[in-house]
Amino acid sequence: MAINDTLKSFMDKFKIPDFSTMDLKASTESLRLSFYRASRSVERDLPELAEVSNLLVDGAEGSLKARHYVPLAAGIGPAPAIIFFHGGGFAVGDLDTHDVVCRRLAAASRCRVLSVDYRLAPENKFPAAHDDALAAWKWAVEQGQTLGFDPARLAVAGDSAGGNLSAFIAQETARRGITMPAFQLLLYPLVQFVDIRAKKLTFQEGGFFISPNLFDYFRDSYIDTEAERMDPRVSPLFAPDDDFKGLPPAHFVLCGWDPLKDEGKAFASKLAAHGVPITIREHPGMVHGFMNMTAVSNPARIAIHDAGLVVGKALGALD
């Protein structure tokens, strides 16, 4: 089935609006509900895990909800783990929208996964999500042993805005001289929050899950001033050259029909130019956000599995 047919079937089945044309002046809660319907897969054949539990972790200004996934073959800790941040433009998304992604990632990688529910905009402006992500990372390093984590074998991972937070943590821990991630798994990451309107987008690139209008809506919900758009925390692509040195290895999953693809490649190139080991897997026929389409797309399931194998091998959970 062609990707456009798959998208139409998916959107019709779950009564999902077209994000490229929907009224973005609607309430934030309406947009969150639409994203929830679009992102949350319901599957009867999910991989079996040893444990899935909810807990609280430290945020920058209080506790954050989190979910811990333990695969069947995880063994007794200390063991590798993945700290995962969901996408959604810093304004939408939660633990449930990315529950299936995390379950499949845990099973494929044989690593524990900790999914973190950071504060969202517009209620919480920049740098709230980034401060929460860093606080959650510190919690995982300092207290993750209670969950069986090996602090020397922790990866950061996330899709879109979650990929932004993962890239930020790698750079920020290096800047501060604190424990860095051992690996970065960046799933079609948002690495600059300035503009995508300057590029000419194909029809496929301007559709599902991200579009110029939606990009602007997310950016302006989270960021108050134009100067903040260039802040290296939210636009790690524009960080000084020194901030790319000595960072942990990174694996990129990019989509052929994604307006963020070129920025992802540019970010990977900057890392490689500074001696950081990088790998890229591009899915030419996929759109931004496709890993949330596992209910109707077998390629999405395969892509998560493949990404899990990469990070599992990098952390030593797999041979």
pLDDT digits (tens, 9 = 90+) for 58-67: 999 999 999 9
Q: What is the rounded average pLDDT of the residues 198-222?
A: 70
Q: What is the predicted pLDDT for the residue at 206?
A: 44
Q: How confident is the model over 83-95, as pLDDT tens digits?
A: 999 999 999 999 9
Residue 38's pLDDT is: 76
Pairwise pLDDT comparison (303 vs 214), residue with the higher score: 303
The string of pLDDT tens digits covering residues 276-316 is 999 999 999 898 999 998 988 899 999 999 999 999 999 99
| pTM of the predicted model as reported, rounded to 2 decimal places | 0.91
In this prediction, residue 185 carries a pLDDT of 99
For the CA atoms of 313, 282, 164, 270, the dihedral, rounded to the nearest 10 degrees, stands at: 90
Amino acid at 279: T
**Separation between Cα atoms, residue 126 and residue 234, nearest integer Å:** 8
The answer, yes or no, to whether residue 226 has pLDDT greater than 90, is yes
Report pLDDT for 34.
Answer: 80
Structure confidence at residue 202 as a pLDDT band (50, 70, 90)? low
CATH class of the domain at 3-315: alpha beta
Specify the pLDDT at position 107: 98
The residue with greater pLDDT, 118 or 74, is 118
> How many CA atoms within 13 Å lie on the side-chain side of 31?
25
Q: How far apart are CA 154 and CA 82, in angstroms?
A: 6
Quickly state the pLDDT bin for 12 (edges 50, 70, 90).
Answer: low
With contact defined as beta carbons under 8 Å apart, do 167 and 184 qualify? yes
Q: Given a cut of 90, is residue 15 above it in pLDDT?
A: no
Q: Which amino acid is at 268?
A: A
Residue 100, pLDDT > 70, answer: yes
Q: pLDDT digit string (tens) for 23-54?
A: 555 678 888 888 788 777 678 889 999 999 99
Question: In this predicted structure, what is the pLDDT of residue 200?
Answer: 53
Q: Which residues are catalytic?
A: 160, 258, 288
